[in-house]
Amino acid sequence: MKRLLSSVCALSALVYSAGLAYAAPALPPQELNVLVLVDVSGSMNDPHSSGDPKITVGLARARDYIKTLPTKVPQIDTAGFSVEYALWAFRSPGPAIRIRDFPGYDKDQILSDLGENGTPLPALTPEDGTPLAAAGCEAASVLVGDADINGNVINPGYEYGKKNGSGVALRVQRRLYIVTDGLENATPDDNPCKGGLSLQTYDNYESSSWQYKLRNKLLSGNVDRNIMGTSGLVVDVDLVFNSFLTGLGSSERSHYVTGPVTSEPKLQQALTFYAGLTGQTHGTFKAVTANSQGKIDTRYPGDVDDSGCVSEADYTQILQEYGKDCTLPANSLPHCYLADLDANGYVDDFDYLLMAEHWGEGPKC
């Protein structure tokens, strides 16, 4: 996670990974495929620190995400293609509920299904466990494809090698958006992405862990192919949880995989995985909690200025606001409640310690 990605992408015309060639965004894409993957496990019914159930917050985040994307990719040559969406959800027994799939799913329809006009689809009702690894690997098979350990293509991903009417390969950008409130806990035993919970850093996951397998599948098309490159897939994640101090709630931790590299999952394991994955794929990671005013706060823990990296600028802002009671009218300015990282109404030692705990972390470090 603290790695400075060398591929901050001298984005060449093509990115090669696992034997699969993808159009890189050095030039504007001519087509965009977006798969929205929603966690509908039982803990998503729990209250969020903003006052709404976590599923309500998560679906609102998903709708906001969709609204940032274009309805149609601008015409570049003779091939200007509409953006295509797929909407999946995951809960036990899993792996994924394919609510709507590629091709041809438009922006208005996906917003409606996510509850834009009132009620979300019944399939988005939370219950049971969280087969995140299985669902994520299934999504990777669609967006990236399946490869063997040597990188040879077994099954191509959706629209792999697509060409326009003149036979020229299209520049297709693929995005996977995940909204969840925790980590893997329910992938079936016979699934290749099943594994224990690693306590190591993003670059050093044990090969028996689900993080190792899911990361590799998304990056290379194979759960065991650890090349630490990029398949061209962009991964965006919203992690919905209560607070930076309490971390993942009790119900989010109530089920977890047992094994040689497993202990009860903590917020830090979620931050390490999601921030590392989104940083490596040039996506966005948001930690969706609430501030002391009950409003949604999407900063990485300790990241006062929301730069994507906890650093000297955050330390400076903590010092400037230190000791203030942010509930007083004289102090009720954005600078005060932004420095109040633990949302207790005061800028104090707890905020400093929270910043220090995550020093040097973040998807943009």
pLDDT above 70 covers what percent of the chain? Answer: 83
Of 256 and 176, which is predicted with more confidence?
Answer: 176
Mean pLDDT, the chain, whole residue set: 83
Give the long-range contacts of residues 70-74, CB within 8 A, separation 24 or more.
70/32, 71/106, 71/107, 73/28, 73/29, 73/30, 73/31, 73/32, 74/28
What average pLDDT does range 204-209 have in this prediction? 94
Give the span between the Cα atoms of 177 and 12, in whole angstroms. Answer: 24
Q: Per residue in 252-270, pLDDT tens?
A: 555 444 444 444 568 888 9
| pLDDT score of 73 | 55
Q: pLDDT-based confidence at 334, cuts 50/70/90?
A: confident
* b (16+ CB within 10 A) / e for 312-331: eebbebbeebeebebeeeeb
Indicate if the pLDDT at residue 8 is higher than 50.
no
CB 74 within 8 A of CB 95: no
C-alpha 228/C-alpha 254 separation (Å) is 31
CATH domain 14-297 topology:
Rossmann fold (3.40.50)
- Average pLDDT on 325-342 reads 81
pLDDT value of residue 74: 53
Reported confidence tier of residue 4, pLDDT bands at 50, 70, 90: very low
User: What's the pLDDT at 161?
Assistant: 75
| pLDDT tens for each residue of 93-150 | 877 999 999 886 788 889 999 999 889 999 999 998 889 999 999 999 999 999 999 9
pLDDT-derived band at 205 (thresholds 50, 70, 90) equals very high
- Which of 26-35, 74-83, 194-203, 342-351 shows the lowest per-residue confidence on average (mean pLDDT)? 74-83
How far apart are the C-alpha atoms of 187 and 124, rounded to whole Å?
19
pLDDT the model gives residue 343: 82
User: Can you tell me the mean pLDDT for 243-258?
Assistant: 60
Neighbours of 92 (CB within 10 A): 18
Residues of each domain in the chain carrying CATH 3.40.50.410: 14-297
User: CA angle at residue 178 from 365 to 258, to 5 degrees?
Assistant: 90
